[in-house]
Amino acid sequence: MGFEFWFVRAVKVYLGVAVLLFIIRLLKDNSILESFTFAILWAFVSTVIFIGSRVYHSRKGVKCALCNDTPESGGKKS
C-alpha cells in the first residue's frame, strides 16, 4: 500500500466528511461561509486522525474488516 493508495483514501474521507459537516451546519441555520469554514477545518482534522490511525495499524499488521485494506488484499484499490 503505497502513497497513491493512502492519498486516494484520504481524499475520499476528506470529501465525505466535509460534505456531511457542511450539510449538517446548514441545517442548523448557520451561514454558508461559517458552515464551509467549519466543514473544511474539521474534515481536515478528522482525516488526519483517521488516516494516521489506519497507517499505524496497517504497519502493525492489524486487520480492519470494515476498511478492507489489509496487506493480503493483493493491491486491490477501494
pLDDT 10s digits, 25-54: 999 999 999 999 999 999 999 999 998 888
| 75 belongs to a structural domain | no
Domain presence at residue 21: yes
Inside any domain, residue 48? yes
Query: Which whole-number Å values give the CA distances from 45 to 19, 24, 36, in the listed order?
Result: 14, 17, 14
Residue 59 belongs to some domain of the structure: yes
77 lies in some domain: no
The pLDDT of 2-8, averaged and rounded, is 85
Q: Which three cell numbers stand for residue 11?
A: 481524499
Give the pLDDT band of residue 1 (cuts 50, 70, 90). Answer: low
Which domain, by its residues, includes 12? 3-70
pLDDT score of 78: 47
pTM over 0.85: no
- Spatial neighbors of 24 by CB under 8 A, at least 6 apart, are none
Confidence of residue 19 (pLDDT cuts 50, 70, 90): very high
Domains in the chain: how many in total? Answer: 1
Residue 36 included in any domain? yes
Domain-embedded: residue 42 = yes
Q: Could you tell me if residue 56 is inside a domain? A: yes
